[in-house]
Amino acid sequence: MNKIKNFSRLNDYFFKNLMGRDERKGLALDFLNSIVELEDNKYFVDLKFLNTEKTPDKIDGKLSRLDIQAQTDDGTFWDIEVQVSREDYMPERSLFYLSRIYGNQLNSGEKYPVLKRTIGINLLNFNLDQLRTLSSWHNYCCFCVPNTNVVVTRHLEMHFLELPKIKISDIKRLKKAEQWGAYFSGKYTDKDMEVLAMNNPVIKQALDYEAYFNSNDELRKEYLAREEAILDERIRHGYSHQQGIVKGIEKNKIETATNALKEGLSPELIAKITNLNIEEVNRLRQQLNK
């Protein structure tokens, strides 16, 4: 069976099947160890998945998250998510879900020392406006004192992997994190992926599963259904955004006209400047004169 046309490794249904299953947790461990480095050359050696549903539900007609929640052997909680559509409030979104995971750790009567570090990994198919001045594709944040290197706590930590920023000159000389970034970005050829697979057997496992996924009728069906749902969501978001821009322009016109009337400009001149019709400008003037 042929590979799905324009197959996306950032389809969250594929991603969760690839990274979020016990039989392939070695892939998830390799990925996490490449992104978050422990002190003294230590590694995460085991993990358990905390949310194992295979398909997402829709809530109030909206596309729900299909993330991976896990806990590694050191007690750290993880929330791993891919996001293909631009999300203006991605940092706030990530912090919200991390805070829920963090808060749910503490039962009634328990003390704060039982709380474990909670880390969010966000694989993004777009660049964050908040990080536009940074050229690196992998950035993370925690609670720090501004303008110092003093870390208050790492109990909440957010990692943002902006895949469009990845620039690779030699596919043979990549660090582990860059190898995973190159794989998920979809920017590189099948030949490049073969080179990665030769240098990293875990990437080869990912490619082997990807081939199996593409050959499985049921998995293909779920993948395509998810792609359709994501596309519908992007179209709705784009329409809403466009409508918001139109409303914003109209609001600015009215504010400009109102201020111009206060300065004593003629309605005819204001109508010409703002492209509002003369009747609308006169209505605004009547409201000001009440």
Residues 252, 128, single domain; the answer is no
Residues 250, 196, single domain; the answer is no
Rounded Cα–Cα distance for residues 29 and 162 (Å): 20
Residues 83, 199, single domain; the answer is yes
Residues 164, 265, single domain; the answer is no
Name the residue with higher pLDDT: 268 or 210: 210
Query: Which one-letter amino acid corresponds to residue 214?
Result: N
Residues 282, 167, single domain; the answer is no
Question: What's the order of all strands across the beta sheet hosting 77-83?
Answer: 47-49, 68-72, 77-83, 118-124, 151-162, 138-144
What pLDDT sits at residue 61? 42
- The mean-pLDDT minimum among 94-98, 167-171, 242-246 falls in 242-246
The domain in which residue 80 lies consists of 12-215
Residues 194, 243, single domain; the answer is no
Name the residue with higher pLDDT: 153 or 241: 153
Say whether pLDDT at 241 is over 70.
no
Give pLDDT tens digits for 36-64: 988 777 889 999 999 876 555 443 345 56
Question: Per the structure, how many domains does the chain have?
Answer: 2
Q: Which of 153, 181, 215 is the last residue of a domain?
A: 215
Residues 202, 264, single domain; the answer is no
Bridge partners, residue 156, by sequence: 118
- On whether residue 49 sits in a domain, the answer given is yes
Say whether pLDDT at 208 is over 90.
yes
What pLDDT sits at residue 239? 52
Query: Which token pair is 105?
Result: 């750790």
Residues 179, 98, single domain; the answer is yes
Say whether pLDDT at 95 is over 60.
yes
- On whether residue 167 sits in a domain, the answer given is yes
- On whether residue 227 sits in a domain, the answer given is no
Residues 196, 141, single domain; the answer is yes
Residues 112, 204, single domain; the answer is yes
* Contact call for residues 82 and 123 (beta carbons, < 8 A): yes
Q: What percent of the chain has pLDDT over 90?
A: 59
Give pLDDT tens digits for 269-289: 778 777 888 888 888 888 887
What pLDDT sits at residue 269? 76
Q: Which of 84, 73, 101 is nearest to 157 (CA)?
A: 101
What average pLDDT does the segment 238-263 reach?
Answer: 68
Residues 30, 165, single domain; the answer is yes
Name the residue with higher pLDDT: 56 or 254: 254
> Tokens 């050229």 appear where?
135
Q: Which of 215, 248, 279 is the last residue of a domain?
A: 215
Q: Which of 43, 48, 11 is nearest to 30 (CA)?
A: 43
- On whether residue 225 sits in a domain, the answer given is no
Residues 136, 259, single domain; the answer is no
What pLDDT sits at residue 150? 96
Question: Across the chain, what does the average pLDDT equal?
Answer: 87
Say whether pLDDT at 262 is over 70.
yes
- On whether residue 199 sits in a domain, the answer given is yes
- On whether residue 125 sits in a domain, the answer given is yes
